[in-house]
Copies of this chain bind each other. A is one copy, B any other.
């Protein structure tokens, strides 16, 4: 399963080099993640309402080509790995007009409770675990 999230580059996302500031890619990955989880059959808001947070352990982003104001962007998200306590997602950011790959990245998350303590999601929310498992292709 892959999801595609569309966005238009905002002026505030640019910096004085004239390109999108790299910190925004983390925000775009997150927009992709939101859509991915929703597409898997839950929503991240619901997940939090049921007491589960997904804080980051690690993020990596590699920048291939700059994005500019008003560019049309797609974030393609997939779930690379799922364990009872962790989640690894991967992202491709593409300019949909020129079909250029702009960036790739990964984020590694822990499942935690709202006090940010580690949580075994398979035990705590077996239905959520099953839905996510399915979205990895099994």
CB closest chain-B residue, reference A31: B10
Tell me which of A61-69, A83-91, A122-130 binds B. A61-69
| Chain A interface SS verdict (over half) | mixed
From 38 to 81 in chain A, residues with beta carbon under 8 angstroms from any chain B beta carbon are 38, 43-45, 48, 53, 55-63, 66, 68-70
How many A residues have CB within 8 A of the partner chain?
A: 39
When distances are taken between beta carbons in the complex, the residues of chain B under 8 Å from A22 are 26, 56, 59
Give the distance to chain B from A91, nearest Cβ to Cβ, in Å.
13
Q: CB within 8 Å of B: which residues of A?
A: 8, 10-12, 14-19, 21-24, 26-27, 30-31, 34, 38, 43-45, 48, 53, 55-63, 66, 68-70, 116
